[in-house]
Amino acid sequence: MRSHFCSSRWRLGLALSLLTVFLWGILPIALSVTLQALDVYTLTWFRFLISFGLLAIYLASRQQLPQWQKLRNAGLGLIVVATVFLGINYLLFVQGLTLTSPANAQVLIQLAPVLFGIGAIAFFKERFNRYQSIGLSILVLGLVLFFNEQLQSLLTANSTYLVGSGILVLAAAAWAVYALAQKQLLRSLSSANVMLLIYGGCALLFTPVATPSTILTLSLLHWGTLLFCGLNTLIAYGAFAEALEHWEASRVSAVLALTPVVTLASVEIVSSLLPKWIASEQLTLLGLIGAILVVSGSMAIALGRSH
Closest CA to 280 of 271, 293, 290, 269: 271
Report the alpha-carbon distance of residue 239 to residue 44 in Å, rounded: 19
Q: Is residue 3 part of a domain?
A: no
Range of the domain at 30: 10-303
Taking the CA atoms of 130, 134, 135 and 136 in sequence, report the sign of the dihedral they define: positive
R_g of the chain computed on alpha carbons:
19
Structural domain contains residue 65: yes
Q: Within a domain: residue 59?
A: yes
**Residue of 249, 192, 225, 200 whose CA lies nearest to 86:** 200
Predicted local distance difference test score (pLDDT) of residue 259: 84
What pLDDT score was predicted for residue 4?
A: 52
CB 290 within 8 A of CB 107: no
**pLDDT value of position 1:** 47
In a domain, 170, yes or no: yes
CA 186/CA 254 separation, integer angstroms: 20
Q: Which amino acid is at 279?
A: A
CA dist 203 and 208 (Å) reads 10
pLDDT of residue 155: 64
The Cα 289–Cα 162 span in angstroms is: 27
User: Does 4 map to a domain?
Assistant: no
Residue 198: inside a domain, yes or no? yes
Specify the pTM.
Answer: 0.78
| pLDDT attached to residue 152 | 66
Angle between helices 10-34 and 102-109 (to 10 degrees): 140
Residue 19 domain flag: yes
Report pLDDT for 282.
63
Name the strand (E) or helix (H) holding 301: helix 285-303
The answer for residues whose C-beta is within 8 angstroms of residue 82's C-beta and 6 or more apart is: 178, 181, 182, 185, 194, 198
CA pair distance 122, 66, nearest whole angstrom: 29
**pLDDT value of residue 302:** 60
What pLDDT does 307 receive?
42
Low-confidence ranges of the chain (pLDDT < 70): 1-8, 74, 125-126, 128, 146-158, 279-283, 302-307
- Tell me if 1 is assigned to some domain: no
Q: Residue 300: CB partners within 8 Å, gap ≥ 6? A: 131, 132, 134, 135, 138, 139
Domain count, the chain: 1
Residue 264, pLDDT score: 81
Closest Cα to residue 55, out of 252, 191, 210?
191
